């Protein structure tokens, strides 16, 4: 993907199929990303997807943020349960219809009810304790998983917020302009669409990273080295639409 391709992703997100199923805000996001071989990512994706690539590589992300006001429908935040810390490990996918998405390998969350409810829908939330340390200049995320699988897995990372606008950087756009997620249910590939405005993104400097979640997600050794991309965003509001089945046939389109 070149700079022109990256910019074409942003002008207008796809129309969100109605009804709106979920509405939420993501705040104070730290994005850490590492280059990984596509051959390491492919076995971890749902059938019908292939690794999406930038500059000849696939990528794995470790993202910490504050979920605020999540709720069903539009503008119906759930008190207490709709606001919590989250840290996820995600991969980047593309399907046979050329639709780019993310695939979540794990999502740490502090609300047990959210974990139980989403696991019933085969979304891999994991119950964890999460601390967010934020002094307006530096921000850090720290968690410990409280239940299986991989109970006790931890992560601890932090950054210094920068000031350089990264919202049109081609790699940053590739990693953040994703209009849905791929998942599998009953052997069928599903796409869950979402929309949000253009990410406000700035550069960031890593202060520390001691992570076990990426290895627990199936990619050992990756997060033991410095990330290849470090970004920060104050956040966006987003809505999710009705999932639909991705038609099979042909190879995933790059």
C-alpha separations of 252 from 50, 99, 203 in Å: 6, 9, 32
Taking a C-beta distance cutoff of 8 angstroms, is the pair 33, 61 a contact? yes
Helices (H), 22-104: 38-41
The neighbouring-strand residues paired with 150 are none
Neighbours of 226 (CB within 10 A): 10
Give the confidence band of 210 by pLDDT, cuts at 50, 70, 90.
very high
Burial 38-61 (b: 16+ CB within 10 A, else e): bebbeebbbebbbbbbbeeebbbb
Give the confidence band of 252 by pLDDT, cuts at 50, 70, 90.
low
| pLDDT above 80 for 169 | yes
| pLDDT above 80 for 177 | yes
Report how far residue 67's alpha carbon sits from residue 27's, in angstroms, rounded to the nearest whole number: 6
Give the mean model confidence (pLDDT) for residues 82-106.
95
* Burial class of residue 96 (count of CB atoms within 10 Å of its CB; 0-12, 13-18, 19+): middle
Tens-digit pLDDT profile for residues 48-86: 999 999 999 999 999 999 999 998 887 777 887 889 999
> Which of 44, 79, 29, 92 shows the shortest CA–CA distance to 231?
29
**pTM summary value:** 0.91
Contacts of 168-172 with CB under 8 Å at 24 or more apart are 168/3, 168/6, 168/7, 168/10, 169/6, 169/201, 170/1, 170/2, 170/3, 170/5, 170/6, 170/54, 171/6, 171/54, 171/55, 171/229, 172/199, 172/201, 172/229, 172/231
pLDDT at 248: 66
């Amino acid at each position: 993907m070149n700079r022109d391709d990256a910019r074409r992703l942003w002008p207008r997100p796809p129309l969100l199929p109605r009804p709106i199923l979920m509405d939420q805000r993501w705040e104070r996001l730290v994005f850490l990303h590492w280059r990984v071989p596509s051959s390491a990512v492919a076995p971890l994706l749902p059938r019908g997807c292939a690794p999406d690539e930038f500059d000849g590589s696939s990528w794995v992300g470790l993202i910490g943020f504050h979920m605020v006001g999540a709720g069903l429908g539009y503008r119906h935040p759930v008190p207490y349960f709709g606001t919590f810390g989250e840290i996820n490990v995600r991969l980047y996918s593309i399907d046979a219809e050329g639709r780019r998405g993310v695939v979540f390998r794990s999502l740490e969350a502090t609300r047990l009810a959210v974990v139980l409810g989403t696991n019933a829908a085969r979304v891999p939330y994991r119950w964890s304790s999460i601390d967010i340390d934020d002094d307006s200049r530096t921000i850090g995320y720290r968690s410990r998983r409280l239940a299986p699988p991989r109970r006790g897995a931890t992560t601890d990372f932090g950054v210094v917020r920068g000031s350089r606008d990264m919202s049109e950087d081609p790699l940053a756009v590739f990693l953040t302009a994703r209009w849905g997620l791929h998942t599998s249910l009953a052997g069928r590939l599903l796409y869950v669409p979402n929309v949000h405005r253009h990410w406000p993104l700035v550069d960031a400097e890593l202060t520390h990273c001691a992570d076990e979640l990426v290895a627990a997600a199936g990619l050992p050794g990756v997060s033991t080295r410095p990330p290849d991309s470090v970004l920060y965003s104050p956040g966006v509001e987003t809505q999710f639409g009705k999932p639909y089945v991705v038609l099979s046939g042909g190879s995933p389109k790059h």
